[in-house]
Amino acid sequence: MSWRKWVGPFTIWTVLSVATLGQNNDTVVNSGNKPAGVESPIETPPDPTPPPSASARPTMIVVVGASGTPEYGQMFSTSADKWERLAEKSKVDCLRLGSETSEVSDRDLLQQSIATISKASTTPVWIVMIGHGTFARNVANFNLRGRDVSATDLADWLASVKRPLVIINCASSSGPFVNRLSGPGRVVVTATKSGAEQNFARFGQYFADAMGTLESDLDHDDEVSVQEAFVRASIEVQRFYDSEERLATEHALLDDNGDGKGTPATMFRGSRAIAKAKGGSELDGKSALKQTLSPDGKRLPLTEQEWQLRAELEAELETLRSRRTDLSEEAYDAELEKVLVQLANLYKTVEQRMNAPVQ
């Protein structure tokens, strides 16, 4: 979840009322009422930080696979266009592979692109794979022009990347990519739950559409998270098969807790998990809620340090929410206020920098 909904005329009572009302409902409503005991607005934030450098921007690599037919080629190109536009609006550096003719193979270009990205940063790297997939001899491949790339190949190339990773494989037979790529700080989405689901997968089209519309924005923060888009796209896929009176041949998975198992959309209601994983472990979804893009282009330009601070504060909010039943109402409100004041100051600092006159 992003807390950017509080950017603007901040007052601590507005922040607190929004957060409190949002605890048990995915739809957040601002009551506008000042809670008792709050007498003054938030303190003035420190001097604005320098403008963000290019290294602070997230990175996206859009990989268009071998199409096989002109029909699929047009379909893949349309999806890639949507991702490029979304990256531009979201202030994400985007590289598209597989659409242009090159003397270097698409496989080598992908490996080189991963090798040249900044390895240590708090901003995420997105890898979006649009195309067909295959599964044979216990090996899952994403089909490229020329030699394919396997889940093991990609895992090896990404091993040195310590940045947050969002990997979206929209191809058929993509399920095994969850097992190979899952890990701490990673969000992995696949169009299928296993390598055996080998028919053409439509999930990628619906996922691109879901990421690109605020209709997917369940928490009303003006950004769309991977988790929100995952749920919406999965619903649209099922509607397609129902309308065609066909048995669904694809079942998407989301993994972000590092266990390599993945969770289907049926385990969520909106942005919240409604079931427990086997063994009582925590379901996926929390990290995917924090990885967002901005369909309307209103994302704030955070610096590297601001990205890190936001991540830390949002983690504190998640921890606090999990402890709510163990705290008195007064203690909970006091801890909540402390974190929200810091978030409000962070966003106000960014707004001040954006509105500062050009020297």
Which tokens in the block code for residue 224? 């769309």
Residue 5 has pLDDT above 50, yes or no: no
Quick one: pLDDT at residue 250? 98
- The whole-model pTM stands at 0.79
Quick one: pLDDT at residue 219? 82
Cα separation, 195 vs 174, whole angstroms = 6
Lowest mean pLDDT among 26-35, 260-269, 301-310, 334-343: 26-35
Cα separation, 5 vs 332, whole angstroms = 21
Quick one: pLDDT at residue 359? 65
> Residue 347: which pLDDT band, with cuts at 50, 70 and 90?
confident
Of the two residues 130 and 347, the one the predictor is more confident about is 130
pLDDT average, residue stretch 18-36: 36
Which tokens in the block code for residue 95? 């590289």
Residue 340 has pLDDT above 70, yes or no: yes
Candidates 3.40.50.1460, 3.40.50.1980, 1.20.140.10, 3.40.190.10; CATH matching 55-293: 3.40.50.1460
pLDDT tens-digit profile of 268-277?
Answer: 988 777 777 7
Residue spans of the domains in the chain: they are 12-22+31-51+303-355, 55-293
Residue 148 has pLDDT above 80, yes or no: yes
pLDDT tens-digit profile of 300-325?
Answer: 777 878 878 888 888 888 888 888 88
Residue 350 has pLDDT above 90, yes or no: no
> Residue 247: which pLDDT band, with cuts at 50, 70 and 90?
very high
Of the two residues 230 and 25, the one the predictor is more confident about is 230
pLDDT tens-digit profile of 277-291?
Answer: 776 677 899 899 999
Residue 129 has pLDDT above 80, yes or no: yes
Quick one: pLDDT at residue 306? 84
Whole-number average pLDDT of the chain: 84
Quick one: pLDDT at residue 56? 63
Quick one: pLDDT at residue 352? 85
CA angle at 316 for the pair 311 and 317, rounded to the nearest 5°: 100
The four Cα atoms 244, 245, 246, 248 give a dihedral, to 10 degrees, of 90
